């Protein structure tokens, strides 16, 4: 078998993008990778000196999978190159320590008071950061006395309710909400229950995005298989999967789904014939018979459109089942509102707010449901920031890393300046990774939109 060289995969990305050139200016302000790609390519053309292996490795390491670039195949090849580099060269100890967000958060949460003291102390904090590859200036969030999984057990949400309501919710919270900001998922449960919905918290692990970004395929696949198994079971039992984290939603709805519709198993399940692939045009209709498909000629595209991506070893029908029944929380609440099923007896909320829609919300193609929902609240004073033009720069665990922190801050400076210009009293975003960055770089209190909605329900007189 021919040995796979990650340099070849990374070089394919360079060659494909230099031939296209669209992202030379499109990605200039909020992307770390493409400006560097063109700099390296231009330098090679001018000097004749080939881009080195180390340059190629550092190049793909710059990608934080914000998905702003227009070519999904390029993103996939970048992740493939990262994965191949790690398979050959290994993963650094510090990265391996922090990439499993759930594990490290659980460990730190065993004795949260002690953990907080150790990280806040200058000497022990420096030692711990050095050992784990965290930049000395990166603030470590305060670990709560009670995390959300503990709260779930206390409120018996980890067993399926016996009631049979119209809407059954299997809630996927995400690691950052589970272990760092439990007030957010608690607000999710309170808002859903206020609207008469039964909430179930199935067994779940990290969505896998942090390890995917670090090129750790073994850990990513472990998380994906575990989550898909338990979430598919929930769907079989009549549950809708709801995510309050846009990155988790992006992972479950789109990343895991990649290529599944092209598989023989899926094509057989929808009755495709020998001449055409049947690809869904959107979410499933209420009646499966009404579902809309587009037909693609096999003679032209069958050799290209295959289920051969990162997650292709997982059964495609399980991936499609989970993806097609997963909803962003804002999206789900907006659907209820449009169906006249969301309680609209909100109390007033005060304070001048700025809402920032994160990048992984944009990639779900659901517009800005929270912006619409928040504008329903009496007394709201809400100004949005265009998430297509600005990036916070945090990039999940990448923002903690010693060699990325300063770049992370620099990348987010444009957004921070824009927010300061708007002078909010409250800053609102559904991404808790962005929240970590905002907490470090801005003086404003930061909230998830669901916390504002929960406050509005609490203010009913």
Q: What is the CATH number of the domain that holds 453?
A: 3.40.50
Angle between helices 329-338 and 449-458 (to 10 degrees): 50
Query: How confident is residue 283, by pLDDT bands cut at 50, 70 and 90?
Result: low
Residue 283 lies in a domain: no
- Among 221, 187, 223, 285, CA closest to 83: 221
User: Is residue 348 located within the same domain as residue 451?
Assistant: yes
For residue 461, the model assigns a pLDDT of 64
Examine the domain organization and report whether 86 and 105 are in the same domain: no
User: Does 247 fall in a domain?
Assistant: yes
Phi, psi of 428 (to 5 degrees): -125, 130
Domain-located, residue 375: yes
Give the mean model confidence (pLDDT) for residues 37-45. 95
Q: How far apart are CA 344 and CA 269, in angstroms?
A: 40
**Same domain (yes/no): 104, 197:** no
pLDDT confidence of residue 291: 83
**One domain for residues 153 and 232:** yes
Same domain, 161 and 100: no
50 and 113 part of one domain: no
Matching residue, tokens 């191949």: 84
Q: Is the pLDDT of residue 282 over 80?
A: no
> Is residue 290 scored above 80 in pLDDT?
no
Residues 182 and 149: their CA atoms lie apart, in Å, by 9
For residue 446, the SS3 value is strand
Rounded average pLDDT over 362-382: 93
pLDDT of residue 32: 85
Q: What is the pLDDT of residue 165?
A: 64
Judge contact between 187 and 175, C-beta under 8 A. no
Same domain, 375 and 403: yes
Indicate whether 75 belongs to any domain: yes
| Residues 21 and 120 placed together within one structural domain of the fold | no
Answer with the one of 330, 364, 391 that is the final residue of a domain: 330
Average confidence score pLDDT of the chain: 92
Residue 209 CA to its chain's centroid (Å): 7
Residue at which a domain ends, from 278, 302, 330? 330
Residues in Cβ contact with 38 at an 8 Å cutoff, skipping those fewer than 6 apart: 17, 18, 24
Is residue 14 a part of any domain in this protein? yes
Tell me which of 67 and 101 has the higher pLDDT.
Answer: 101
How does pLDDT run across 166-208, given as a tens digit for each residue? 789 999 999 999 999 999 999 999 999 999 999 999 999 999 9
**Inside any domain, residue 434:** yes
| Number of independent structural domains in the chain | 4
Q: What is the pLDDT of residue 284?
A: 62
Query: Are 68 and 102 in a shared domain?
Result: no
In the predicted model, what is the mean pLDDT of residues 434-449? 97
Confidence check: pLDDT of 2 > 80? no
Return the percentage of the chain with pLDDT > 70, whole number. Answer: 96
Same domain, 112 and 84: no
Domain ends where: 272, 306, 330?
330
In a domain, 266, yes or no: no
pLDDT tens across 304-321, in order?
A: 899 999 999 999 999 999
The answer to the question of residue 449 being in a domain is: yes
Q: Percent of the chain at pLDDT above 90?
A: 77
The yes-or-no verdict on residue 442 having pLDDT over 50 is yes
Which backbone phi and psi does 294 adopt, to 5 degrees? -105, 145
Average confidence (pLDDT) over 353-374 = 92
- The model's confidence at residue 1, banded by pLDDT at 50, 70 and 90, is very low
Query: Do 83 and 103 fall within a single domain?
Result: no
Distance CA 349, CA 362 (A): 26
Same domain, 353 and 452: yes
Range of the domain at 399: 344-458
Strand partners, 296: 277
Burial of 164 (0-12, 13-18, 19+ CB in 10 A): exposed
Query: Rounded distance, CA 389 to CA 318, Å?
Result: 35
Per the CB < 8 A criterion, the answer to whether 410 and 441 are in contact is no
| Strand bridging mode 352-356 / 426-429 | parallel
């Amino acid at each position: 078998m021919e040995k796979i060289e990650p340099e070849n995969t990374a070089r394919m990305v360079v060659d494909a993008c230099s031939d296209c050139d669209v992202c030379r200016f499109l990605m200039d302000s909020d992307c770390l990778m493409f400006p560097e790609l063109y700099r390296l390519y231009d330098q090679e053309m001018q000097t004749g000196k080939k881009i080195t292996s180390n340059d190629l490795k550092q190049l793909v390491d710059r990608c934080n999978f914000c998905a702003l670039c227009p070519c999904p195949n390029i993103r996939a090849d970048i992740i493939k190159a990262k994965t191949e580099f790690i398979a050959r060269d290994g993963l650094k100890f510090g990265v391996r320590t922090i990439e499993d967000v759930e594990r490290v958060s659980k460990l730190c949460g065993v004795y949260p008071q002690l953990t907080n003291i150790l990280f806040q102390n200058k000497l022990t904090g420096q030692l711990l950061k050095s050992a784990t590859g965290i930049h000395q200036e990166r603030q470590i969030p305060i670990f709560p006395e009670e995390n959300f999984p503990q709260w779930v057990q206390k409120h018996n949400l980890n067993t399926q309710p016996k009631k049979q309501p119209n809407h059954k919710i299997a809630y996927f919270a995400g690691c950052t909400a589970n272990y760092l900001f439990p007030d957010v998922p608690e607000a999710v449960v309170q808002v859903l229950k206020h609207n008469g919905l039964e909430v179930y918290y199935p067994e779940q692990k990290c969505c896998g995005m942090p390890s995917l970004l670090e090129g750790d395929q073994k850990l990513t696949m472990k998380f994906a298989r575990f989550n898909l198994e338990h979430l598919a079971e929930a769907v079989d039992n009549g549950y809708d999967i709801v995510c309050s984290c846009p990155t988790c939603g992006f992972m479950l709805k789109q990343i895991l789904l990649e290529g599944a519709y092209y598989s023989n198993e899926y094509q057989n399940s929808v009755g495709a014939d020998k001449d055409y692939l049947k690809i869904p045009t959107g979410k499933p209709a209420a009646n499966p018979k009404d579902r809309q498909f587009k037909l693609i000629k096999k003679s032209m595209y069958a050799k290209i459109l295959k289920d051969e991506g990162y997650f292709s070893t997982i059964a495609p029908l399980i991936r499609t089942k989970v993806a097609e029944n997963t909803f962003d929380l804002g999206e789900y609440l907006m659907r209820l509102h449009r169906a006249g099923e969301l309680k609209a007896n909100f109390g007033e909320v005060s304070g001048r707010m700025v809402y920032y829609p994160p990048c992984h919300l944009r990639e779900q193609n659901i517009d800005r449901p929270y912006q619409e929902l928040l504008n329903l609240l009496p007394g709201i004073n809400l100004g949005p920031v265009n998430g297509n033009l600005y990036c916070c720069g945090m990039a999940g665990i990448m923002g903690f890393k010693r060699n990325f922190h300063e770049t992370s801050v620099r990348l987010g400076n444009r957004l921070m300046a824009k927010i300061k210009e708007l002078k909010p009293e409250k800053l609102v975003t559904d991404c808790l990774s962005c929240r970590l960055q905002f907490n470090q770089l801005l003086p404003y209190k930061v909230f998830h939109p669901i916390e504002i909605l929960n406050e509005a329900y609490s203010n009913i007189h």
